[in-house]
Amino acid sequence: MEGIFITFEGIEGCGKTSQARLLNKYLEEQGYKVVMTREPGGTPISEAIREILLSNEFNTMQPHTEVLLYLASRAQHISEVIQPALQDGKIVISDRFSDSTFVYQCYVRGIDLKRVKTMNLFATEGISPHLTFVLDIDPTEGLRRAKSRNQRHARKEDRLENEAIEFHQKVREGYLRMAQEYPDRIHVINSDKDKEAVHEEIRGIVDRVLANR
Ligand code: TMP
């Protein structure tokens, strides 16, 4: 049987990386074969593209350049990691995927969604998530969490974390709109609560989806 593709989305500091890891651990304990990955990234080429995308050196990056780099990183990720794992019947968990492009590049940066959807199909070869969790949190709290995480890891804020609060508010709004458009696939989870409580909610939804297969 074809595997299942689950993605985590949300603004900076929403907790999606921790939740993706918790879900990975839970599913592995249940005996599933799981591949956990992230975007931009997930392969050596895609990780190299990530460095360019997030570098503070490249503040002059144009929106069209940016979208093409995200899609280039995704094309490699799909053919090297995601497609083979799904064909093998594995569960793939990705920390961000196409919805990030639709929200950040189209809804926020203003690039035409229809065109980007067509280009994204080219990059993904038609693969899209079965299930998506948008972790929803107020951007002020999200950025506070992202900053304290960076301090813990002695890291500076990246190019996107350095955007103004209005940018992050627009990102949040974009995700909520996407969720309204795809209510069967996208689940909005309030992430302003205990990590374990968020995990339980996610686990409940994943358990239901797995039971119905
Ligand atoms: P991360 O820090 O959550 O891993 O995400 C890296 C940044 O890249 C984040 O600010 C969102 C952004 N991004 C896009 O703008 N478009 C995309 O398609 C993806 C995958 C990420």
Looking at CATH, the fold of the domain delimited by 4-211 is given as Rossmann fold (3.40.50)
Question: How does pLDDT run across 22-68, given as a tens digit for each residue?
Answer: 999 999 999 999 999 999 999 999 999 999 999 989 999 999 999 99
Answer whether 0.85 is exceeded by the pTM.
yes
Ligand 1 binding pocket includes 104 (Cβ within 6 Å): yes
Question: How does pLDDT run across 118-165, given as a tens digit for each residue?
Answer: 999 999 999 999 999 999 999 999 888 888 888 888 888 877 777 788
Rounded to the nearest angstrom, the distance between the alpha carbon of 213 and the centre of ligand 1 is: 31
Ligand 1 binding pocket includes 70 (Cβ within 6 Å): yes
Per-domain residue ranges for the chain? 4-211
Residues 53-84 as b or e (16 or more Cβ within 10 Å = b): beeeeeeeeeeeebbebbbebbbbbbebbbbe
In degrees rounded to 5, what are phi and psi of residue 111? -80, 145
Question: How does pLDDT run across 179-191, given as a tens digit for each residue?
Answer: 999 999 999 999 9
